[in-house]
Structure 1
């Protein structure tokens, strides 16, 4: 991990936005299209608007999600709703977005359809992830078998403690991203990063990603509570 600490969420958001914009521009010097993966949660409400202000050829960038709660896309718990409000609403109207939610009753029935959507994308250029205090990334939680073979780019998940089912990009497709950024706030999450820096823990999903990622993970963290 390459860790970058900031004194507050505002400076973190700007540092992240600068990194993301540079990364995407560099990709577009080599390829006609780029793919940006973003998470849900509370922290993206700060840094997604900062990213939206960056001058990028957004018509050449497709945006999708790292994971999604199985709720209506207009529900306040929907990651799609959050990303559309804090990022897409501030971008040119021709910017492409690929959501993960379908009309299926549950994500287990939707995996084939979501895989087909994701299969149309170029390789993932930049994947942005958050981190749970239990070490989960996207909706890959402790207790899931990271080595479970799958022919899909996504997995359906019934989280151990959560009000809704979820769908998540698979560990394989996340690990194959050209660049991975991890945005972390809060003391407990920083302590978890400190611990994993010295001792890998095979029960922690972030460890699974660190062991499989094709490139170093760039961490953006606040050094305050």
Structure 2
């Protein structure tokens, strides 16, 4: 799979708070549409500080939580209760505070190790159709989820839904990540990008460089929610 034929939509926001408010509204809109049309809402969650603030704000959404199904774009190979795990962060910030049934929160079993965890999560994802909403971040090097430059991204149509990641350039070295192809099977994909440290990656993406993030597509154009200052020329 290659990047979508739809060019990405770059949306600038005055600051991180405004971006987070817009992201929560986007999630709410997607949930409302999915519940109305299909009776369930399938969302993929990201790790990181920007998503954490978004999750905390999502606690107040007026929605039928019993029909939400939550997946994770990637996970670190750490003990199941390690605070550095994305699933632990998402639970503490949001999921433990709303009545989503526990059986509908699909944590990646990365504590099994990268290979076994990826096989197990691919099994969990089999039979799941297009996600309704995928939230992603952008790393300083252009990575997203745990898809890093110089590693396999799983862009092709025959790629596994979940990939083992070894020798990641940031700790821990072993991880499990959804493939670019699986993340791209989505009705809506939103990247949340904040912080001056992301400027180089933003510039590279906008210049058309091949980055893990740019390998993600969607049923429609992906949306990149970005602090406005990152879209201005470098000072």
TM-score, with structure 2 as normaliser: 0.85
- SS for the counterpart of 1:156 is strand
RMSD over aligned Cα atoms: 2.1
Partner of 1:143: 150
Partner of 1:22: 29
In structure 2, how many angstroms separate the alpha carbons of the residues matched to 1:90 and 1:185? 25
CA drift at 1:86: 0.7
Gaps of 5+ in 2: 1-7, 231-235
Partner of 2:69: 62
In structure 2, how many angstroms separate the alpha carbons of the residues matched to 1:218 and 1:164? 29
Number of equivalenced pairs: 220
Aligned ranges 1:1-225 → 2 under 5 Å? 1-94=8-101, 96-102=104-110, 104=112, 106-146=113-153, 150=158, 152-158=160-166, 159-197=168-206, 199-202=207-210, 204-209=211-216, 212-223=217-228
In structure 1, how many angstroms separate the alpha carbons of the residues matched to 2:111 and 2:10? 39
In structure 1, how many angstroms separate the alpha carbons of the residues matched to 2:118 and 2:155? 15
CA drift at 1:188: 3.6
Is contact 2:154–2:179 with CA below 8 Å preserved after alignment?
no
The Cα offsets for residues 183-224 of structure 1, whole Å up to 9 and x where unpaired, read as 001124245324422x3112x111222xx4332111222235
TM-score, with structure 1 as normaliser: 0.89
Gaps of 5+ in 1: none
The Cα offsets for residues 95-134 of structure 1, whole Å up to 9 and x where unpaired, read as 6200002552x11123222111122534211000010010
In structure 1, how many angstroms separate the alpha carbons of the residues matched to 2:129 and 2:218? 18
Is contact 2:74–2:178 with CA below 8 Å preserved after alignment?
yes
CA drift at 1:9: 2.2
**Residues 148, 126 of structure 1: alpha-carbon distance in 2 compared, 3 angstrom cutoff:** closer
